[in-house]
């Protein structure tokens, strides 16, 4: 009894070092332990909260692991058909131009079946934010090869490793959209270390704030791990990501507003 009272005394608002941000709902995340989705959700929720956007945010969730994003974020959300989120978001933003509109998509959704919608929304310069989680694999359907699976990487449909001669090359969507006139800010980040989380939050904050300028599409790729799909522990998967994914998908800004101003 005495001990319990002690804990209650410790758990007091003034002692809290870390609290659930208001925009994050109290539902248990369906993501695997160590996966980057939860962290990215949390960053988005914090930013929506901090920037006072909860009442005017409309998100679009994809098909894939984050299909249930609407269980976790306390904002209006539409769940889109596989790959079509940029088209859905296009109409939302055009019909409600003063709202903050974002899509949240994995690499199967954005870089395979949704390639066309992604490229055309970016090329038209739709005033939306596209958050792109790239873990090089189809997570929800059980670890199949994605367009972003790197050469030699094993998956359930490339069990001997991706052979680029027969299976094609990994698609660098972020590099592609950076070349399009309609994009305003294109960056590639990760969320596997506290330092990277801080960088990603900074990048996403910029991307969200840029939407008010009506200057075009902001595109934020987050290179992430998939411990279950990669069949590794979270720690090993982060290490593997650093050693194998980052050389292929180097972190950093690909297109910034200041560069465009110089041009």
Partner 1 sequence: MERELRLMKGNEAVAEAAIRAGVDGYFGYPITPQSEILEYLMEANPYERTGMVVLQAESEVAAINMVYGGAGCGKKVMTSSSSPGISLKQEGISYIAGAELPCLIVNVARGGPGLGTIQPAQADYFQSVKGGGHGDYHLIVLAPASVQEMADFVELGFELAFKYRNPALILSDGAIGQMMEKVYLNPQKPRSSESPDWATTGKGSREDRNIITSLDLDPDGQEQFNHKLIEKYAEIEKNEVRYEEFHCDDAEYLLVAYGTSARVCQKSVQIAREHGIKLGLLRPVTLFPFPKKRIAEISSRVKGILSVEMSSGQMVEDVQLAVNGRVPVMHFGRMGGIVTTPDEVVEQVKILFLGGK
The residues that touch partner 1, with contacts defined as CB under 8 A, are 54-58, 60, 67-68, 70, 73-81, 84, 87-92, 94-96, 99-100, 116-117, 120
Shortest distance (Å) from residue 102 CB to partner 1:
12
- Looking at the Cβ atoms of 90 and 189, the one nearer to partner 1 is 90
Beta carbons within 10 angstroms of residue 45's beta carbon = 21
- Looking at the Cβ atoms of 27 and 193, the one nearer to partner 1 is 27
Shortest distance (Å) from residue 106 CB to partner 1:
16
Per-residue b or e along 136-155, where b marks 16 or more CB atoms closer than 10 Å to that residue's CB: bbbbbeebbbbbbbbeebbb
- Looking at the Cβ atoms of 67 and 207, the one nearer to partner 1 is 67
- Looking at the Cβ atoms of 96 and 181, the one nearer to partner 1 is 96
Closest CA to 123 of 209, 219, 261, 203: 219
- Looking at the Cβ atoms of 59 and 227, the one nearer to partner 1 is 59
Shortest distance (Å) from residue 84 CB to partner 1:
4
Shortest distance (Å) from residue 26 CB to partner 1:
13
- Looking at the Cβ atoms of 122 and 137, the one nearer to partner 1 is 122
Backbone angles phi, psi at 63, to 5 degrees: -100, 130
**What token pair was written down for 250?**
């180097």
Shortest distance (Å) from residue 121 CB to partner 1:
8
Shortest distance (Å) from residue 54 CB to partner 1:
6
Shortest distance (Å) from residue 22 CB to partner 1:
11
Backbone angles phi, psi at 197, to 5 degrees: -60, -45
- Looking at the Cβ atoms of 115 and 256, the one nearer to partner 1 is 115
Residue for token pair 């980057």: 36
């Amino acid at each position: 009894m005495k001990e319990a009272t002690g804990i209650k005394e410790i758990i007091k608002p003034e002692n809290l070092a870390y609290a659930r941000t208001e925009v994050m709902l109290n539902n248990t995340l369906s993501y695997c332990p160590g996966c980057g989705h939860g962290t990215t959700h949390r960053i988005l929720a914090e930013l929506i909260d901090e920037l006072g956007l909860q009442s005017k945010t409309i998100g679009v969730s994809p098909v894939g692991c984050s299909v249930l994003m609407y269980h976790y974020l306390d904002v209006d959300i539409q769940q889109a058909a596989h790959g079509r989120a940029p088209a859905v978001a296009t109409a939302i933003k055009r019909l409600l131009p003063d709202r903050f509109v974002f899509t949240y998509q994995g690499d199967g959704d954005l870089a395979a079946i949704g390639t066309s919608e992604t490229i055309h929304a970016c090329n038209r310069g739709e005033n939306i934010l596209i958050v792109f989680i790239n873990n090089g694999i189809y997570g929800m359907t059980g670890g199949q090869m994605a367009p972003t699976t790197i050469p030699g990487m094993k998956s359930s449909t490339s069990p001997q490793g991706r052979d680029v001669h027969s299976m094609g090359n990994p698609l660098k969507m972020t590099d592609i959209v950076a070349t399009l006139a309609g994009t305003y800010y294109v960056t590639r980040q990760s969320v596997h270390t506290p330092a990277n989380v801080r960088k990603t939050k900074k990048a996403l904050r910029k991307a969200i704030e840029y939407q008010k300028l009506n200057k075009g599409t902001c595109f934020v790729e987050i290179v992430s791990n998939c411990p279950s799909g990669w069949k590794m522990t979270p720690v090993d998967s982060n290490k593997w990501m650093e050693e194998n994914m980052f050389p292929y998908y180097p972190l950093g800004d690909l297109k910034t507003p200041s560069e465009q101003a110089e041009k």
